[in-house]
């Protein structure tokens, strides 16, 4: 069975600094998607970044980038130049291609210190 | 990007009553929507997959008679919590999958409090 593990329940980062959130997953599939979703205090989940497993190049979205290590089944999120608005719960998610069942990690609460 | 709207955002009801939560895809057709439940400081737990025009698929351990799901159109899915009890109090979130990208678009969530 597929699993997603986020080993950091909570992280803190100083404003303008860089922080990395960890995520590992387990699957026997070769084709899948990985995501990082953000859930701010307003509670609506929004997509931060997406990675297709067949792509070797790490995805980047402005200040957000991932380190995707397929062999190690690792998918970490790096947030550069952290801003107060980045404070939220971050969920790592996996879905096998062609399926609908998303597997979410337990989340990492990110605090940004002014 | 695609928008999914959920209503109501919060509801308080008495024990024994039923509560309906609506999930709408505003700018795209969603043949499949998903209903999640989230406990405080925990991850999202998939409750069921809602398929337009057919019966919902429930996850193991989720009572289909307690959580009624109807997906009557390509833009609307509803979750009805029947005979609600305090243990049903939770945050319920719906989502729909975007075509081709695999991305999930989430509703704002509905906080249910059963007194």
Q: Contact at 8 Å (CB) between A50 and A59?
A: yes
Alpha-carbon gap, residue B62 to B68, rounded angstroms: 10
Closest approach of B103 to chain A, Cα-based (Å): 8
pLDDT in tens, B26-62: 888 888 899 999 887 788 899 999 988 888 999 999 9
β strands within B1-115, DSSP E: 4-7, 10-13, 19-25, 32-38, 44-51, 57-58, 67-73, 76-81, 90-97, 104-106, 110-114
pLDDT for B54 equals: 85
Nearest to A106 among B43, B49, B107 (CB): B43
For the stretch B92-106, pLDDT in tens is 999 987 766 667 889
Contact A44 B46 (CB under 8 A): no
Q: Dihedral angle at the C-alpha atoms of A28, A7, A36, A77, nearest 10 degrees?
A: -110
Any CB–CB contact under 8 A between B4 and chain A? no
Instruction: Judge contact between A107 and A57, C-beta under 8 A.
Output: no
Contact between A106 and B108 using a beta-carbon 8 Å cutoff = no
| Residue pLDDT tens, chain A, 114 long | 789 999 999 999 999 999 999 999 999 998 999 999 999 887 788 999 999 999 989 999 999 999 999 999 999 999 999 999 999 999 999 998 878 788 999 999 999 999
- CB contact A105 to B (< 8 Å): yes
pLDDT for A17 equals 98
User: What is residue B53's predicted lDDT score, i.e. its pLDDT?
Assistant: 83
- Cβ proximity of A113 and A87 under 8 Å: no
């Amino acid at each position: 069975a597929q699993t997603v593990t986020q080993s950091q329940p909570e992280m803190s980062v100083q404003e303008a600094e860089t922080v990395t959130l960890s995520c590992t997953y387990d699957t026997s599939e070769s084709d899948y998607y990985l995501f990082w979703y953000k859930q701010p205090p307003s509670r609506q989940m929004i997509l931060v970044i997406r990675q297709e497993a067949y792509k070797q190049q790490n995805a980047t979205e402005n200040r957000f980038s991932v380190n995707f290590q397929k062999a190690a089944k690792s998918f970490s999120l790096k947030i550069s130049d952290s801003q107060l608005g980045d404070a939220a719960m971050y969920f790592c998610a996996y879905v096998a291609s062609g399926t609908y069942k998303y597997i979410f990690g337990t989340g990492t609460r990110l605090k940004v210190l002014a | 990007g695609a928008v999914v709207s959920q209503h109501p955002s919060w509801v308080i009801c008495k024990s024994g009553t039923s509560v309906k939560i609506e999930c709408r895809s505003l700018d795209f057709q969603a043949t499949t929507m998903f209903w999640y439940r989230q406990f405080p400081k925990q991850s999202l737990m998939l409750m069921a997959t809602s398929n337009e025009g057919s019966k919902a698929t429930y996850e193991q351990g989720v009572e289909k008679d307690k959580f009624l799901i109807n997906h009557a159109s390509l833009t609307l899915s509803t979750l009805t919590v029947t005979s609600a009890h305090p243990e049903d109090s939770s945050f319920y979130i719906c989502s729909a999958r975007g075509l081709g990208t695999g991305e999930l678009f989430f509703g704002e969530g509905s906080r249910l409090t059963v007194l």
